[in-house]
Amino acid sequence: MNTATHTLDPHAGHAHHPTGVLRWLTTTNHKDIGTMYLTFSLLMFFLGGAMILAVRAELFQPGLQLMKPEFFNQLIGVHALVMIFAALMPAATGFANWMIPLMIGAPDMALPRLNNWGFWLLPPAALLLTMPFILAIFGIGDGAVATGWTLYAPLSVQGGIGVDFAIFSIHILGISSIMGSINIIATLLNMRAPGMTLMKMPLFCWGWLVTAVLLIITLPVLAGGVTMLLTDRHFGTHFFNAAGGGDPILFQHLFWFFGHPEVYILLLPVWGLMPHVLSTFTRKPIYGHTAQVYGFIAIGVLGLIVWAHHFMTAGLPVPALLYFMYSTMAISLPLAVLFFCWIATMWRGAMSFETPMLFAIGFIVLFGIAGLTGLVLADVAADAQYHHSYFVVAHFHYALFAGGIMGVMTGVYYWLPKWTGHMYSEKLGKLHFWLTVISFNFTFMPQFFLGLAGMPRRIPDYALQFTEFNAISTVGAFVLGLSQLLFAWNIWRCVKGGDKATDKVWEGSNGLEWELSSPPPYHSWDTQPVIKSTP
């Protein structure tokens, strides 16, 4: 005789998870961890933003008004490290955690416990990075790292305890990134639903796969470089000390071998996301799926061999300069393929302009400016003029704010209804977009002109001739910073309630993730989907 002692409900176990603080400390659920990454990223975005607003306030007019130059340098360095490692990278990892299992039909990430550890390494790392500010208040040390995010030797060899804190923070952030990368590679390669071949994998996943491989190849170089810096500082080695037979330029090679691919590490997930958003709001299939996959791979490979264009003025031999100039310019080719595919996806589509689409179009236009000014900087002759000027500052903010952060905002608006089950306020979203785009250009466009006019970066005081553009830039920065409160408010409102989102959310959305309910069940994909169609 057979007896059933339980009534079998396929969803019976779905509510079985810890609640309260324990849920967030111990969770191995990809959605919980994704939410934590995104929340952490938003907090760090505001922290890094607050730091740079203080810097812009100092730069509002010439002369020293608000802070000492040492503190100014610390704010700039920590702003960059926080924005890159604690805001942008965790945002992309949050997207990966939330969306990759949903997109490939997997129940969770391949190594869920590793996923939990990877996240919980971030808060102590952020604390290490910012703690020297607090220690300095109590008279311990001389503040945070003041070398800029590049930690160039020999300046960093001579710096205070902030450098040590930054080195340990970078190590921990690196371990976290490695854990995330291994997990993402394992998930994408091993847990795809039956029928989902690699070439059928969504482009967002492809962007992340190339990113994860780049991280695995480049992070040991950064880890080695900062460890050598640490031994130079405290253990009597002379890796970067010319007086002891070392080579300070070696540090620049080590740093930028990681630092340049880092740009693509920040941008590839966003480039992978864009085709999905454009396809959704043009109600057309993605144009050139295969071309974009090869574009990502080409950018990843080229990104590994062009690092020295960041220090072409450091005295490299002429053949090296020519090589790095041409190889850097070659990156524009696969990038042009991506731009072409994005525009071709929109071409003659039935476009509508919801907030994610506005951000996507804003991204394409403004990131295009980053690409074009990058070409100028790649030119070895022109770079001799522009290097270490505000032109570079403007260029990389067009790349990392317009390309990275606006890309993240695109993703948040695009997927927020899926995550929360509620629609955000379109009115607030559009207001946020227009304020962001206008104030962003007011902030950074003048910096191109400042750079062309010869204003160097990383200075708290400047010549009178730069006053007007700096004032405009500061006003723009404050509007830009305050506009982001709308973003946070809109997210908060959406999390708390709002119009119910449908499962598909958008009329033109297409992909496995839209087959699940909004919000998706705690355990995704009870029944494994089988993929039959082409991407």
CA-to-CA distance for 26 and 117, rounded, in angstroms? 9
Residue 533 Cα distances to 193, 195, 204, angstroms: 13, 9, 18
Amino acid at 269: P
Stretch of 48-56, 184-192, 283-291, 436-444 lying at the interface with other proteins (CB under 8 A): 184-192
Buried b (16+ CB within 10 A) or exposed e, 170-198: bbbbbbbbbbbbbbbbebbeebbbeebee
Amino acid at 131: M
Output the smallest distance, CB 522 to other proteins, in A.
Answer: 9
Residue 1 within binding range of other proteins, rule CB under 8 A: yes
Among the listed residues 122, 191, 491, 494, the single contact to other proteins using CB under 8 A: 191
Among the listed residues 59, 89, 102, 110, the single contact to other proteins using CB under 8 A: 110
Choose between 304 and 475: whose C-beta lies nearer to other proteins.
304
CA-to-CA distance for 201 and 235, rounded, in angstroms? 48
Q: Which helix (H) or strand (E) holds 428?
A: helix 426-452
Is the alpha carbon torsion for 524, 360, 89, 104 positive or negative? positive
Residue 243 within binding range of other proteins, rule CB under 8 A: no
Choose between 227 and 441: whose C-beta lies nearer to other proteins.
227
Output the smallest distance, CB 510 to other proteins, in A.
Answer: 21
Among the listed residues 173, 178, 370, 472, the single contact to other proteins using CB under 8 A: 178
Residue 250 within binding range of other proteins, rule CB under 8 A: yes
Choose between 299 and 416: whose C-beta lies nearer to other proteins.
299
Which residues, 6 or more positions from 260, have their beta carbon under 8 angstroms from its beta carbon?
A: 303, 306, 307, 309, 310
Among the listed residues 57, 69, 70, 253, the single contact to other proteins using CB under 8 A: 253
Residue 450 within binding range of other proteins, rule CB under 8 A: no
Q: Is 283 exposed, middle or buried (0-12, 13-18, 19+ CB in 10 A)?
A: middle
Residues 3-42 that bind other proteins (CB under 8 A): 3-6, 8, 10-14, 16
Task: Kindly state the tokens that stand for 55.
Answer: 């810097």
Output the smallest distance, CB 376 to other proteins, in A.
Answer: 29
Output the smallest distance, CB 263 to other proteins, in A.
Answer: 17
String of contacts with other proteins for each residue 196-225, x by CB under 8 A: x----------------x--xxxxxx-xxx
CA-to-CA distance for 171 and 336, rounded, in angstroms? 35
Stretch of 124-132, 193-201, 281-289, 362-370 lying at the interface with other proteins (CB under 8 A): 193-201
Choose between 239 and 401: whose C-beta lies nearer to other proteins.
239
Total number of residues that touch other proteins (CB under 8 A): 57
Residue 528 within binding range of other proteins, rule CB under 8 A: yes
Which residues, 6 or more positions from 142, have their beta carbon under 8 angstroms from its beta carbon?
A: 70, 136, 160, 161, 162
CA-to-CA distance for 154 and 286, rounded, in angstroms? 49
Residue numbers at the binding site for other proteins (CB under 8 A): 1-6, 8, 10-14, 16, 106-107, 110-111, 114, 178-179, 182-183, 185-186, 189-194, 196, 213, 216-221, 223-225, 227-228, 231, 239, 246-247, 250, 253-254, 257, 304, 523, 525-528
